[in-house]
Structure 1
Amino acid sequence: MSYQRLLPRYHSIEHSGVQLPNEGQNWLDGKKRSVHSRWQNHQQAVQKLSQLLEQYQWTWPSKTVYFFSDLHADADALTASLIASGGVKVRGKKHRRFKLTKQGKQAQFLIGGDCFDKGPSNLELLRTLSRLHHSGARMRLLAGNHDVRVMLGMRSVNRDDALECKHFFVRMGPKAVPFLSEINDSYLSAPHSLSGVPDTAQCKQRLFPPEQWFDVFPLKAAGLLPDKMIEKEMQRITEKRQDFEMRCDENGLSPRRAYAAALQWQRLFLRNSGEFSWFFKHMRLALRKGSFLFIHAGLDNHIANLIRKKGVKALNREFNKQLQGDPMRFYYGSLANTIRTKYRASDKHLTTAGARQVHEKDMHVIIHGHKSMLNGQRVSLRQSIVNFECDVTLDRHSRQRDGLKGPGAGVTIVRPDKKIIGISTDHPYVKVFDPDDLGQSGV
């Protein structure tokens, strides 16, 4: 079968800075680079997927979905990935503007979580997303663990009504320091920018949990975490505070400047007039399109039961309710598991019974990020639910850490004509998943 007609047309490729694949390949022909190794061989993967496709009839989205995940503060990776989708044309070199193609006007652009941390510029990524939105793109945002952790951490500064939540700032860890430094450099460079900011001792008191927190936290966490996890969390907070202060020193960020940057973050993100107030307002936990559930990481039995009883819209309402009302309940509960699970022993479990509940709602496929892939997207199985793992390691710092060559780009495209397309700079072919063509692979 020829896959050439299924490939998107790349526009403005000169603005991408990457080499994108130009030939298609049956998804399963990628073998270990495209299929989870739990399947013993290629034939077993074909048989199992064929069996599930026959057992559960997939309802496909009515419009194309472009899924971009784990952008991690890398605006160049976002731009290159948008070009890879075929949904945009790029204008301008420095302040890039986007123009939707015919295909882009009819599609939905879904950002799959983890916009913050790791990469070169959180602010530039957000401004690039804003330009995409203002181009007329139907853009939706999903919550990632990094996004939520930053929100809870920054919001906890100066919050005196919930002592048990005072650890969320230092809980962000050293990864948050570059973001604070970026805000400091961008907004607090004027000579009198620290006027009115308390002294160093008071700033530390407002940033870090007081001694009383170590008495209050175990009481509030009881019932949410096992005793061993509570002890581990308190030890982790002590260590993270030390690491945080050390990283601030290395970046020339005094406690006063860190505190001032946190307050500036609140003005930017939490005030209605803030430049980035749109970000968390439009954030959702999950999105359903037909039989496809788009989410940052995954599911467990509790969430599966909630979906079966009340649906995905109710899941999003509960997400907003907990995030605004009870951060402890959210962060240490099942809802937060959906943005950080990797199905480890320490994560909340999804069993056969949980998967069955999801199937009862006619959802048979999960499209997610979170788990870094080094060879482009991968198909896997969680119980009887087909998963497409779509974190293709986009940001430059993660790529350098993992030994990947050059800048990254990638997009997962779910199409109404019953095709899933995986594009990544780390696989030589465009991966094409066609349910009607599984048995033709491997030849």
Structure 2
Amino acid sequence: MFPDVGHPLLPRLKDHERAELGVPQSCIAWPLTDPHSGGRDADQADELVKSVLSTNAIGSWDWPDRPVVFVSDLHADAEGFLRSLIASGALTRDGKGLTGLELTAFGRSALIIIGGDCLDKGPSNLDLLHAIKRVMDLGAEIRLLAGNHDLRLLLGVRALVGERTPLNEHMFVRMGNKVLPLLREVFDLHVDPDLDLKTAPKIAECRNRIFPGAKWERHFRVAAADYLNEAAIEKELKRLRKKVRNFEEAAENAGLNMRQLYVAAAKCQSLFLDPHGPYGWFYREMKALYQAGSLLFIHAGMDDAMARELAETGAKGINRRFEQQSRENPFTFYSSSIGNLMRTKYRPVDKPLTAQGVRHLHDSGVKLLVHGHVNRAEGQRLKSMQGLLHLEGDITLDRHSRKSEGLDGIGTGCTIIYPSGDIVGLSRDFPHAKVFNPAAHGAKGILQS
């Protein structure tokens, strides 16, 4: 099939925007049988096709009543975020940075969903938060979902400044090296050397508060047995040993000794966890998931317990529990089913999604899970998991990840879902926009005429 140039589903961009962004200006039917966009092999492609047909057979689709723009895994790259919204047709910019930004008519009518993992990696966490807030202040309606990287800061800081227990005293170091650029930014911009450092504990005490104690591993095995199976406990311990070995050296390479690191982390409490702090809006606005008709937007994935709870309490019930439990014990929250929503990759150590869970989701009206967390180098991908359709929308936007994966330029792209049921996957790393309408075209995935 020849690419459909100028298809009406493609965003209408100005000439200079098109040239600068590098996003495709032609579209093709979503390549369901190609490894980069659908099935990894013939069996997976066949399973995906069967899932589309069986999903259509259980009843009609309920599409959002306005366009949805989904971007995910921004990882502290403000420019990637802004370019992606411009590529969607929701935003225009006359200038650089946050100057000259303006919502388009499409941007005012659309719902923008940020699918989690705003923090870590780089270039600048705080620049990204300023960019998101600026777009919100322009009047855009944004839904902000929690990702595992976002939760790491929330839970790590709470563990550091709260009461230490065998279940949480490792949670700060568990954040790992990726959080250090953020803490360096906080130290440089928000720590007062004449006040904060002078009143901080001595460096040895700071180190003791940051790292788990000598007997922690033995106590953790006992305490964690109520929440994790043996394989998951061993995985957690192995991860921690590696992070402990490298953490202090990595902090020093970032220009932070243990005292400076502790002060920066403690400052995050007033910046991020205080509802009235300059970034208090970030966690205040954050939700676990968002349902729009047949679509469920989430950071990572589902398990049976959350699927059943969605059927019983709806998305509002789960979001209420997320808000409450994220303020409680960091480890028990992160290892629970509700934490699984932000971190699962459907591994053996993760809480499982089975056919029973998929039936609960179908009973809730959910036919398609739209998520990030699993980055792709050639645009969005559709897959089937236990018969549930998944759309993977992490298209490697941040420059840190792009460099490590051999991708050049600034990441740009998004997933647009129209009330018609048409789904458009845009990425500068795939030559055409991918278009799919499961209800209208089933397994064929052909473009509308």
* TM-score bin, normalised by smaller chain: over 0.9
Contact between 2:76 and 2:121, CA under 8 Å: does it hold in 1?
A: yes
Bigger drift between 286-295 and 377-386 goes to 377-386
CA drift of 1:43 comes to: 7.6
1:79-98 mapped onto 2 (5 Å cutoff): 79-98=82-101
Q: Which amino acid aligns with 1:306?
A: E
Contact between 1:164 and 1:220, CA under 8 Å: does it hold in 2?
A: yes
1:15-94 mapped onto 2 (5 Å cutoff): 17-28=20-31, 31-40=34-43, 46=49, 48-94=51-97
1:63-212 mapped onto 2 (5 Å cutoff): 63-160=66-163, 162=165, 164-188=167-191, 190=193, 194-212=197-215
Bigger drift between 370-379 and 211-220 goes to 211-220
Distance in 2 separating the partners of 1:302 and 1:321? 18
Q: Does 1:385 align with 2:392?
A: no
Bigger drift between 304-313 and 204-213 goes to 204-213
1:197-346 mapped onto 2 (5 Å cutoff): 197-346=200-349
SS at match of 2:197: coil
Structure 2 length as normaliser, TM-score? 0.92
Number of residue pairs the alignment of both structures matches: 443
Q: Which of 417, 421, 426 pairs up with 1:418?
A: 421
CA drift of 1:35 comes to: 1.1
Q: Which amino acid aligns with 2:104?
A: T
CA drift of 1:91 comes to: 3.4
Distance in 1 separating the partners of 2:359 and 2:200? 55
Contact between 1:61 and 1:416, CA under 8 Å: does it hold in 2?
A: yes
Contact between 1:11 and 1:86, CA under 8 Å: does it hold in 2?
A: no
Contact between 1:154 and 1:169, CA under 8 Å: does it hold in 2?
A: yes
Q: Does 1:362 align with 2:342?
A: no
> Which runs of 5 or more structure 1 residues have no equivalent in the other structure?
none
Contact between 1:11 and 1:83, CA under 8 Å: does it hold in 2?
A: no
Percent of aligned pairs with the same residue?
39
CA drift of 1:305 comes to: 1.2
Distance in 2 separating the partners of 1:207 and 1:295? 31
Distance in 1 separating the partners of 2:199 and 2:19? 44
CA drift of 1:423 comes to: 0.4
SS at match of 2:83: helix
Distance in 2 separating the partners of 1:15 and 1:125? 23
Contact between 2:32 and 2:48, CA under 8 Å: does it hold in 1?
A: no
SS at match of 1:166: coil
> Which runs of 5 or more structure 2 residues have no equivalent in the other structure?
none
Distance in 1 separating the partners of 2:382 and 2:353? 18
CA drift of 1:55 comes to: 3.1
Distance verdict in 2 for CA 1:16–1:158, change over 3 Å: farther
Structure 1 length as normaliser, TM-score? 0.93
Bigger drift between 186-195 and 126-135 goes to 186-195
